[in-house]
């Protein structure tokens, strides 16, 4: 038996195995380190692909072509309107039956690395889902840029693509980046849903530790601290990126939000530079 | 994982002690064999009023805890994803299986209804301890590690098997044969523990590890084999036999081997609920005495895959 710490409280005694907890958190098993790696790279890949999908969807949604607009509309409607968990099962368990071929076998080779089929399926589901949310965020960003900017570019003879790349999207970024940061914060945590398709990410490692030891509170609190560390580090990075993007604008003085205020969600709603 | 006579002895002793405390005839020594719990319930029957219908064998009356009687129901935590022991009918809401029949039979003998609370297996003991249910019946092995958390009333012995594609192309008969291959298994099971232990042995021998893929639901684990994503599925022997024999799967799978010897599975109760445990033990003893257990096992096609306790 591990020595337990008994915390006297008003009411029932609390049982907390401090030794197990500290060992779990500070001497992470190779499974835990592997889980941390999967959580990080799955978040980064899914978010990146999600941003690309979201940008394409936003542009399609504002296109003159009604077919493109319809595709974008249906995509956003379906993937924002259904649970990610359901989408994950559709992708991993459903597609082999639909297509008659398994897109996600045990190992998938992407030279020079090979990934587990389940990890790829999880990333695909996360990315497609994220793209639907990013589509709305990018659309709002593009709409926030005064139409005069695009008109001026056009009058200078710029093509649509050049206007978007050089004029509209860089200005839209100031509006897109703060919610994008929040999306990535969310993504770091949402990867835990991949546990249902047997991806050994952080949460699944805690589940395995729990079912092997029944130290439920210790294992899940331990994993919570790992997520908290990831989101905290991301908050710091996000703040730095936003300050950099905000430089040289009238609102920049107001966009500086302290770390504590950011972590506690005390940032003012218009601190994104909108509404000024 | 293996049954220890110590645990069975404690179970029997506790049952006898509680029976003695409830004012029935003097019991034999607690050091006797596990099966000696039966005489206690028989003597309880002899001294109790005959409330049962006057049918063939006088069913032993059971000292049901007052809390259960007043609630009018027994709530069972079951992970309903383990056919033929527990699974949902095609309607998706009606649970069926040998464990469900046993749960209903215990309820009937208690004079209350049985309610099935579908609970994920890896969280099923915490759910019992958090009083989300009164009992667990879920094909759960009575292991020393789990017995630190809960008490068990054993009701069958079940081994573990490996299900593989028909013809067993990779020749998987034992856990060691899985070296370097992929296997799907449910999280939180003794099957997973056995694979982890096999991996330690393989690592010590310098051989490639088993790629163990864990799933919340046993049916999801089996599905990985059906999709050809893994080389084998690890489950209890009756479950492997069930999947191999299922008409939908005809000619697709076979049992590669049953590498783990039959070990007791039990109904779990909270340690403080010793009255309930005694009553459940009496109900199980009664089901063995009148042949109900044997017929339930036969009904679900498990006669060859399980070992009756008596």
Nearest to B124 by CA among B268, B280, B276: B268
Closest chain B CA to residue A207: B122
Q: Distance between CA atoms of A234 and A181, rounded to whole angstroms?
A: 8
What Cα–Cα distance (Å) separates residue B206 from each residue in A267, B148, B150, B232? 55, 33, 37, 22
| Lowest mean pLDDT across A204-218, A250-264, B15-29, B106-120 | B15-29
Whether B258 contacts B161, CB under 8 Å: yes
Lookup result for tokens 């309820």: B107
Name the band, by pLDDT with cuts 50, 70 and 90, for residue B35.
very low
Instruction: Report chain A residues whose CB lies below 8 A from the CB of B121.
Output: 211
- For residue range A36-47, what is the model confidence (pLDDT) as tens digits? 999 999 999 999
Cis? peptide before A112, omega within 30° of 0: yes
Name the band, by pLDDT with cuts 50, 70 and 90, for residue A13.
confident
Strand partners, B215: B186
Burial of A8 (0-12, 13-18, 19+ CB in 10 A): exposed
Residues in contact with A180: Cβ distance below 8 Å, sequence separation at least 6, in sequence order:
A51, A134, A137
Quote the DSSP letter at residue A168: I
Question: Which 86-105 residues of chain A touch chain B by CB within 8 A?
Answer: 93, 96, 102, 104-105
Q: Distance between CA atoms of A84 and A55, rounded to whole angstroms?
A: 20
- For residue range B261-290, what is the model confidence (pLDDT) as tens digits? 999 999 999 999 999 999 999 999 999 999
- b/e sequence B23-56, b meaning 16+ C-beta within 10 Å: ebeebeeeeeebebbbbbbbbbbeeeeeeeeeee
Quote the DSSP letter at residue A13: P
To the nearest whole percent, how much of chain B has pLDDT over 90? 71
**Interval A185-203 mean pLDDT:** 95
- For residue range A72-117, what is the model confidence (pLDDT) as tens digits? 999 999 999 999 999 999 999 999 999 988 999 888 888 888 888 9
Touching check for A207 and chain B: CB below 8 Å? Answer: yes
Instruction: Report chain A residues whose CB lies below 8 A from the CB of B229.
Output: 102, 104-106, 117
Nearest to B246 by CA among B82, B80, B84, B79: B84
Nearest to A229 by CA among A267, A263, A191: A263
Q: Distance between CA atoms of A261 and B306, rounded to whole angstroms?
A: 61
pLDDT at A266: 60
Whether A142 contacts A62, CB under 8 Å: yes
Name the band, by pLDDT with cuts 50, 70 and 90, for residue A257.
low
* Substitution target from B132, B165, B222, B229 for chain A, most A beta carbons within 10 A: B229
Q: State the helix-helix crossing angle for A30-61 and A216-246, rounded to 10 degrees.
A: 40
Three-state SS for A54? helix
- Pick from B149, B215, B227: CB nearest A198: B215
Residues in contact with A155: Cβ distance below 8 Å, sequence separation at least 6, in sequence order:
none
Nearest to A255 by CA among A234, A235, A240: A240
* Substitution target from A206, A211, A220 for chain B, most B beta carbons within 10 A: A211
Answer yes or no: is pLDDT of A272 > 90. no
pLDDT at A208: 87
Give B62 to chain A, closest Cα distance, Å. 32
Give the DSSP letter string of A214-270.
--HHHHHHHHHHHHHHHHHHHHHHHHHHHHHHHTTSGGGGT----HHHHHTT-S-GG
| Model confidence, pTM | 0.74
Whether B38 contacts B289, CB under 8 Å: yes
Whether B268 contacts B76, CB under 8 Å: no
pLDDT at A190: 97
Instruction: Report chain A residues whose CB lies below 8 A from the CB of B223.
Output: 93
pLDDT at B31: 42
Give B1 to chain A, closest Cα distance, Å. 12
Q: Distance between CA atoms of B3 and B190, rounded to whole angstroms?
A: 12
What Cα–Cα distance (Å) separates residue A28 from each residue in A36, A211, A218? 10, 17, 13
- For residue range B198-237, what is the model confidence (pLDDT) as tens digits? 999 999 999 999 999 999 889 999 999 999 999 999 999 9
Answer yes or no: is pLDDT of B22 > 60. no
Region of residue B258 (left: phi > 0; alpha: psi -120 to 50; beta: else): beta
Give phi and psi for B228, each to the nearest 5.
75, 20
Question: Is the Cβ pair B187, A207 closer than 8 Å?
Answer: yes
Lookup result for tokens 């044969």: B177
Three-state SS for B76? strand
Question: Is the Cβ pair A207, B122 closer than 8 Å?
Answer: yes
Whether B291 contacts B205, CB under 8 Å: no
pLDDT at A251: 52
Give A155 to chain B, closest Cα distance, Å. 57
Give the DSSP letter string of B171-235.
---SSGGGTTSEEEEETTSHHHHHHHHHHHHHHHTTPPPPEEEEESSHHHHHHHHHTTSSSEEEE
């Amino acid at each position: 038996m591990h020595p337990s710490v008994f915390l006297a409280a008003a009411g029932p005694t609390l049982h907390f195995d401090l030794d197990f907890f500290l060992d779990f958190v500070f001497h992470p098993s190779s499974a835990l380190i592997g889980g941390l790696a999967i959580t990080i790279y799955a978040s980064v890949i899914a978010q990146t692909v999600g941003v690309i999908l979201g940008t394409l969807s936003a542009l399609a949604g504002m296109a003159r072509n009604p077919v493109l607009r319809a595709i974008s509309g249906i995509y956003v409607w379906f993937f924002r309107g259904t649970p990610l968990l359901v989408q994950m099962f559709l992708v991993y368990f459903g597609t082999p039956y639909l297509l008659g071929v398994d897109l996600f076998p045990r190992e998938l080779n992407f030279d020079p690395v090979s990934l587990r089929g389940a990890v790829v399926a999880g990333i695909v589901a996360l990315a497609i889902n994220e793209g639907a949310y990013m589509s709305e965020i990018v659309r709002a960003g593009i709409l926030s840029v005064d139409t005069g900017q695009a008109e001026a570019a056009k009058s200078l003879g710029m093509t649509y693509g050049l206007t978007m790349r050089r004029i509209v999207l860089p200005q839209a970024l100031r509006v897109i980046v703060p919610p994008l940061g929040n999306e990535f914060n969310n993504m770091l945590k949402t990867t835990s849903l991949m546990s249902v398709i047997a991806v050994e990410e952080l949460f699944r490692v805690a589940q395995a530790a729990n079912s092997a030891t029944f130290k439920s509170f210790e294992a899940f609190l331990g994993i919570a601290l790992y997520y908290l560390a990831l989101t905290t580090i991301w908050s710091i990075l996000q703040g730095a990126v936003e300050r950099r993007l905000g430089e040289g604008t009238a609102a920049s003085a107001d966009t500086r939000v302290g770390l504590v205020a950011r972590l506690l969600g005390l940032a003012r709603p218009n601190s994104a530079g909108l509404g000024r | 994982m293996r049954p220890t006579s110590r645990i069975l002895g404690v179970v029997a002793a506790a049952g006898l002690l509680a029976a003695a405390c409830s004012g029935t005839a003097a019991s034999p020594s607690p050091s006797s064999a596990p099966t000696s719990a039966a005489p206690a319930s028989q003597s309880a029957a002899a001294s109790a009023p005959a409330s049962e219908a006057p049918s063939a064998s006088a069913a032993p009356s059971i000292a049901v805890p007052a809390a259960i009687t007043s609630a009018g129901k027994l709530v069972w935590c079951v992970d309903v994803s383990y056919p033929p022991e527990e699974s949902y009918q095609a309607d998706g809401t009606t649970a069926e299986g040998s464990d469900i029949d046993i749960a209903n039979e215990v309820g009937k003998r208690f004079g209350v209804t049985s309610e099935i609370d579908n609970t994920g297996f890896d969280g099923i003991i915490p759910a019992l301890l958090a009083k989300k249910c009164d009992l667990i019946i879920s094909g759960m092995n009575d292991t020393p590690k789990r017995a630190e958390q809960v008490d068990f009333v054993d009701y069958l012995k079940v081994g573990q098997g490996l299900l593989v594609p028909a013809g067993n192309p990779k020749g998987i008969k034992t856990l060691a044969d899985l070296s370097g291959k992929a296997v799907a298994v449910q999280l939180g099971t003794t099957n997973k523990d056995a694979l982890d232990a096999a991996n330690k042995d393989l690592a010590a021998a310098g051989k490639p590890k088993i790629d163990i893929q864990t799933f919340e639901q046993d049916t999801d684990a089996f599905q990985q084999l059906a999709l050809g994503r893994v080389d084998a599925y690890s489950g209890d022997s009756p479950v492997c036999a069930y999947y191999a024999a299922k008409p939908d799967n005809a000619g697709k799978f076979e049992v590669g081997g049953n590498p783990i010897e039959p070990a007791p599975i039990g109904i779990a109760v909270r340690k403080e609920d010793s009255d309930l445990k005694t009553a459940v033990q009496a109900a199980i003893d009664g089901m063995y005495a009148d042949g109900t257990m044997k017929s339930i096992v036969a009904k679900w096609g498990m006669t060859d895959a399980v070992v009756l306790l008596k």
